[in-house]
Amino acid sequence: MASRQELKRYRANLADELHGAAIYETLARVEADPERKRTFGELAASEREHAKIWADKLKANKQHVPTRPGVKTVLMKGLLHVFGPRFVLPSIAAAEFADRNKYAHSPDTAKMSEDERHHASVVQRLANDGKPEATKGAEIAKAESWHKGVSSGNDLRAAVLGANDGLVSNFCLIMGVAGAGTQNKAILLTALAGIVAGACSMALGEWLSVTNARELARTQIAKEADELEHTPEAEEHELRLIYRAKGLDNNEATRVAAQIMKDKGKALDALTREELGLDPAELGGNPWSAAAVSFCLFAVGAIFPAMPFLWSAGELAIVQCIAFSVLALAGIGMFTSLFNGRSAVFSAGRQIVIGLVAAAFTFGIGHLLGVSVS
């Protein structure tokens, strides 16, 4: 008979495998490319095989085997149907990368451990649109956007956190003003001003961030082009060292570097990608589209606590503001569970508690300031 801890591990592993199988099956249904569709189908079948192993272990211990999909699964499937595979795939790739060694320390799961590492590699390649994986840790961090955090190209993570910024900041602003005893009209004007000011600030910040990144990238590429023009021997030596680091022997690395140096354009492209870690075709994205997305995401989150003051007043409006904000915080918490590895219930609860504590703090400060000013 398995111990309580082992049974808990069996259930957790079963839930993970069922989640993975359901997501890959959904990806196979919504994916238009036949080759990618086939790959997702194979990944789903593999996850189903893993799930059966853990289900059999639970059955052998006379335990209930859950079959209903969890909240995280339902959310991710919904996102896949609405936005398509390429919007969600970076988050799936990040989760696979984080879990690639979860079976590595048990001798009876060696085959599953090998499968999970293979899955991580395949999904990362698909998320990279088929580009080959980098070979060194630093290059991987540059090449794969989901390892860079919130400011990376992970659209799902950025969208959730952008909306969260708007929600929490405007919720706290409204509660601070309400705590000071301000009238309903003034609270509503403050809320709307908070939406516009915050969204503009976020948009400007994103525009500056992307613009500065692009300008820095262009400056680095221009310096690389100048070095290529005036010191080609040194640049060829750098290419040779890069290809040796990738695993080529000295003679082969020398031959490849010399071949690339015959075309200055190809040489600059290779140095830009390999030495600077930049994609010449993108250079950080479009600053205007990034600013527009940031503006909209902040505004979407910020509108929730402001809405009740459009039709209510006084304590009723404040109660509704808190209720709307709690629901939005719970929703955001559930979405964060898609890429933080925690359960949807835990993530939602934590988000609600933190949001309410912040709002209560600003309400208290507003009340103290209102009393002292009056």
- For the segment 115-150, what is each residue's pLDDT rounded down to a tens digit? 788 888 888 888 776 554 443 333 333 433 333 333
Q: Residue 368 — pLDDT band, cuts 50, 70, 90?
A: confident
- For the segment 303-347, what is each residue's pLDDT rounded down to a tens digit? 999 999 999 888 898 999 999 999 999 999 888 887 776 788 888
Taking the whole predicted model, whether its pTM rises above 0.75 is answered as: no
pLDDT for residue 154 = 55
Report the distance separating Cα 237 and Cα 247, nearest Å: 16
Q: Which residue from 179, 187, 177, 20 is spatially nearest to 91, judged by alpha carbons?
A: 20
Q: Residue 372 — pLDDT band, cuts 50, 70, 90?
A: low
Least confident of 24-28, 107-111, 127-131: 127-131
pLDDT of 42 higher than 70:
yes
pLDDT for residue 298 = 93
Least confident of 103-107, 169-173, 228-232: 103-107
pLDDT for residue 140 = 35
Q: Which residue from 67, 17, 69 is spatially nearest to 44, judged by alpha carbons?
A: 17
- For the segment 342-351, what is each residue's pLDDT rounded down to a tens digit? 788 888 999 9
Packing angle between helix 85-98 and helix 71-83, nearest 10 degrees?
A: 140
Tokens of 43: 């990944």
- For the segment 268-298, what is each residue's pLDDT rounded down to a tens digit? 887 777 777 666 666 666 788 888 888 999 9
Vertex 329 angle, CA 367 and 332, to 5°: 150
Report the distance separating Cα 295 and Cα 92, nearest Å: 26
pLDDT for residue 150 = 34
pLDDT of 188 higher than 70:
yes
Q: Which residue from 338, 304, 22, 279 is spatially nearest to 158, judged by alpha carbons?
A: 338
Report the distance separating Cα 3 and Cα 247, nearest Å: 47
Least confident of 165-174, 245-254, 354-363: 245-254
- Give yes or no for a contact between 236 and 261, defined as CB atoms under 8 angstroms apart: yes
Tokens of 153: 């190209």
pLDDT for residue 151 = 36
pLDDT for residue 171 = 93
Three-state DSSP string of 302-332: HHHHHHHHHCCCHHHHHHHHHHHHHHHHHHH
Locate the domains of the chain by residue range.
4-133, 155-210+286-373, 215-274
The class (CATH top level) of 4-133 is: mainly alpha
3-state secondary structure of 165: helix
pLDDT for residue 280 = 66
pLDDT for residue 281 = 63
- Give yes or no for a contact between 304 and 146, defined as CB atoms under 8 angstroms apart: no
